[in-house]
């Protein structure tokens, strides 16, 4: 059995499990799931056959069992803000996790929480604040980005130079495999174990190709008592990196670190231009801008900011004296739509429609190659970025370096360009992405660093992983023997890069 008959039977069985209000195949509903944030033209649009909205792990299991029975693809979806097409469904059953948004347990004494995977990060932190706790994995799209999606993509976070990537927060996960089996993977309420294989780590950056993450036990931390920010202009990226390395060496421990080219500063300070009609002032000699935040007791924060200024100066840096530039950058990067009661006193409110999203997107869209390279290769990669943008006729938006590993300088980098809606320009953008991806690998890095392979980079996996890709495919077969879990993502041929 296959095709329409299998879909009809599956639809009827899904309605029996979830009810008519949480199963749909109406075109207007399908259309709302047809895009995410990556640039595309109409030929890239994708529609599921059926959308379901489960509320529990058990319901997800029943959905997957039906899909497995009829060999129908299953596509999990979180907030839908990825830029790699990872949650696009080209037919099949799309599992929208947004109703799985409950906090199941807050264990304040042990600084862990158990949550459903569909809870947005902003909602999680609003609830945790009642207990004086904080989940510090802060992504810019936190209003909609879900816990499950940041695990599945290994997304970037603002505070990772202090708190680390998602694997530094995930104690255990509950998953539904490609056969519908429910399995808990990991180490209960601890991050520390040498017992068995760390199978829960297989689901970090798995993008729904092994199974669906339904529940997670997360490490959380006490809310810091005070925070402040600093920024510096540097003559080169190398100067900025060396200054940060020296800060870490000498005991200055930032909570977040973000290195940008001066073009990218204009993007993040979009509200400054909206307010004053001019770009923020950047010295002609400056190539790079380093932003830092510090958290802790007020006197400790003041000490580290003063020390960071001295060290930055030793490496050719000059402080950003315009406090409003600093605060507008921070608002754009972190505060965004954060409720007033969760902000520190100096943090500015988000100005609707005057920030980089969506005001700066009115004429052209944001598109980026999101790669990682060794920190000593950032300057070289920046030159390649300018070269490839010119080669493919794309306007540079700017480079942004996110320091993503605790107390070290391992990075993910967004090399962004403006992309119009014409079919030709979108195709040139993906040729640019391909060039950037291959160059990152050649420089000792990775072609995908924060928004996953999705459908965009699927065809390039072999270029980075070689024979190791064969072992990945064997692991996938164990968890997903029928090959129904998010097919076409990470493996196979890219629909975007030729």
Q: What is the CATH number of the domain that holds 87?
A: 3.30.43.10
Give the pLDDT of residue 318.
Answer: 97
Helix (H) or strand (E) holding 379: helix 378-391
Residue 490's closest CA among 467, 472, 471, 468?
472
- 179 belongs to a structural domain: yes
Give the pLDDT confidence of 308-362 residue by residue, as tens digits: 999 999 999 999 998 888 888 887 777 655 555 655 665 555 555 555 555 555 6
- 13 belongs to a structural domain: yes
Same domain for 193 and 119: yes
Give the pLDDT of residue 214.
Answer: 98
Same domain for 231 and 167: no
Residue 142 has pLDDT above 90, yes or no: no
- 141 belongs to a structural domain: yes
How many separate domains does the chain show? Answer: 3
Same domain for 354 and 257: yes
Same domain for 432 and 326: yes
Mean pLDDT across 92-99: 97
Same domain for 163 and 71: no
Give the pLDDT of residue 267.
Answer: 74
Give the pLDDT of residue 357.
Answer: 55
Same domain for 52 and 165: no
Question: How far is 348 from 328, CA to CA, in rounded Å?
Answer: 7
Among the residue ranges 35-44, 303-312, 412-421, the one predicted with the least confidence is 35-44
Give the pLDDT of residue 361.
Answer: 59
Residue 393 has pLDDT above 60, yes or no: yes
- 481 belongs to a structural domain: no
- 374 belongs to a structural domain: yes
Residue 63 has pLDDT above 70, yes or no: yes
Number of alpha carbons in the 13 Å side-chain half-sphere of residue 119? 23
Model confidence band, residue 155 (pLDDT cutoffs 50, 70, 90): very high
Give the pLDDT of residue 325.
Answer: 85
Question: How far is 492 from 295, CA to CA, in rounded Å?
Answer: 44
Same domain for 165 and 289: no
Among the residue ranges 49-53, 216-220, 405-409, 419-423, the one predicted with the least confidence is 419-423
- 455 belongs to a structural domain: no
Strands 103-107, 112-116: pairing is: antiparallel
Same domain for 59 and 91: yes
Q: Which domain holds residue 213?
A: 103-222
Please tell me the pTM assigned to this model: 0.92
- 59 belongs to a structural domain: yes
Same domain for 409 and 352: yes
Residue 115 has pLDDT above 90, yes or no: yes
Among the residue ranges 2-6, 338-342, 455-459, the one predicted with the least confidence is 338-342
Strands of 211-219's sheet in order across = 103-107, 112-116, 211-219, 170-177, 182-186
Give the pLDDT of residue 22.
Answer: 98
Mean pLDDT across 387-395: 97
Give the pLDDT of residue 93.
Answer: 98
Model confidence band, residue 263 (pLDDT cutoffs 50, 70, 90): confident
Residue 383 has pLDDT above 80, yes or no: yes
Helix (H) or strand (E) holding 174: strand 170-177
Residue 267's closest CA among 170, 357, 149, 185?
357
Strands 256-261, 221-222: pairing is: unpaired
The rounded percent of the chain whose pLDDT value lies above 90 is 75
More confident call, 268 vs 468: 468
Q: Answer with the one of 153, 188, 222 that is the final residue of a domain.
A: 222
Residue-averaged pLDDT of the chain: 91
Same domain for 231 and 212: no
For 402, phi then psi, to 5°, come to -105, 120
More confident call, 32 vs 333: 32
Two tokens, residue 366:
């944001």
For 335, phi then psi, to 5°, come to -70, -50
- 50 belongs to a structural domain: yes
Residue 98 has pLDDT above 60, yes or no: yes
Q: Answer with the one of 442, 460, 485 that is the final residue of a domain.
A: 442
Q: Answer with the one of 165, 193, 222 that is the final residue of a domain.
A: 222
Same domain for 177 and 113: yes
CATH number of residue 405's parent domain: 3.40.462.40
Same domain for 306 and 366: yes
Give the pLDDT of residue 343.
Answer: 58
Give the pLDDT of residue 101.
Answer: 98
Residues across the chain: 498
Convert 165-190 to b/e letters by CB count within 10 Å (16 or more is b): bbeebbbbbbbbbbbbebeebbbebe
């Amino acid at each position: 059995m296959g095709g329409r008959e299998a879909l009809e039977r599956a639809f009827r069985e899904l309605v029996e499990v979830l009810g008519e209000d949480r199963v749909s195949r109406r075109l207007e509903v399908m259309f709302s799931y047809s895009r995410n944030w990556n640039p595309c033209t109409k030929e890239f649009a994708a529609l599921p056959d059926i959308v379901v909205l489960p509320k529990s792990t058990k319901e997800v299991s029943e959905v997957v069992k039906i899909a497995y029975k009829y060999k129908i693809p299953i596509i999990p979806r979180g907030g839908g803000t990825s830029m790699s097409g990872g949650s696009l469904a080209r037919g099949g059953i799309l599992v929208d996790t947004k109703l799985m948004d409950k906090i199941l347990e807050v264990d304040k004494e042990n600084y862990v929480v158990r949550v459903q995977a569909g809870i947005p990060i902003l909602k999680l932190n609003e609830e945790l604040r009642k207990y004086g706790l904080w989940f510090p994995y802060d992504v810019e799209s936190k209003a909609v980005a879900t816990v499950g999606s940041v695990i599945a993509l290994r997304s970037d976070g603002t505070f990772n130079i202090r708190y680390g990537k998602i694997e530094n927060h995930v104690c255990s996960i509950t998953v539904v495999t490609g056969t519908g089996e429910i399995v808990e993977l990991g180490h209960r309420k601890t991050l520390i174990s040498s017992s068995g294989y760390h199978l829960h780590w297989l689901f970090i950056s798995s993008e729904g190709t092994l199974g669906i993450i339904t529940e997670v036990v997360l490490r959380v931390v006490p809310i810091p008592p005070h925070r402040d920010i600093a920024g510096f202009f540097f003559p080169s990226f190398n100067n900025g990196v060396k200054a940060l390395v020296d800060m870490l060496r000498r005991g200055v421990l930032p909570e977040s670190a973000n290195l940008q080219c001066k073009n990218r500063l204009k993007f993040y300070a979009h509200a400054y231009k909206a307010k004053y009609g001019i770009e923020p002032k950047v010295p002609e000699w400056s190539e790079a801008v380093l932003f830092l935040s510090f958290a802790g007791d007020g006197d400790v924060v003041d000490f580290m900011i003063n020390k960071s200024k001295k060290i930055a100066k030793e490496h050719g840096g000059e402080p950003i004296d315009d406090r409003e530039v600093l605060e507008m950058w921070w608002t754009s990067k972190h505060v965004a739509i954060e409720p007033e009661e969760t902000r520190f006193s100096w943090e500015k409110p988000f100005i609707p429609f005057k920030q980089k999203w969506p005001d700066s997107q009115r004429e052209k869209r944001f598109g980026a190659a999101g790669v990682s390279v060794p920190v000593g290769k950032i300057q070289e990669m920046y030159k390649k970025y300018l070269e490839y943008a010119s080669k493919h006729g794309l306007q540079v938006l700017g480079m942004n370096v996110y320091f993503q590993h605790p107390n070290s300088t391992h990075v993910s980098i967004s090399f962004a360009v403006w992309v119009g809606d014409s079919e030709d320009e979108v195709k040139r953008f993906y040729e640019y992405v391909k060039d950037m991806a291959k160059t990152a690998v050649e420089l000792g890095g990775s072609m995908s660093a924060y928004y996953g392979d999705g459908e965009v980079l699927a065809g390039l996996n072999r270029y980075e992983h070689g024979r190791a890709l064969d072992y990945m495919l064997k692991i996938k077969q164990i968890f997903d023997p029928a090959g129904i879990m998010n097919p076409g993502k990470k493996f196979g041929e890219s629909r975007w890069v030729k």
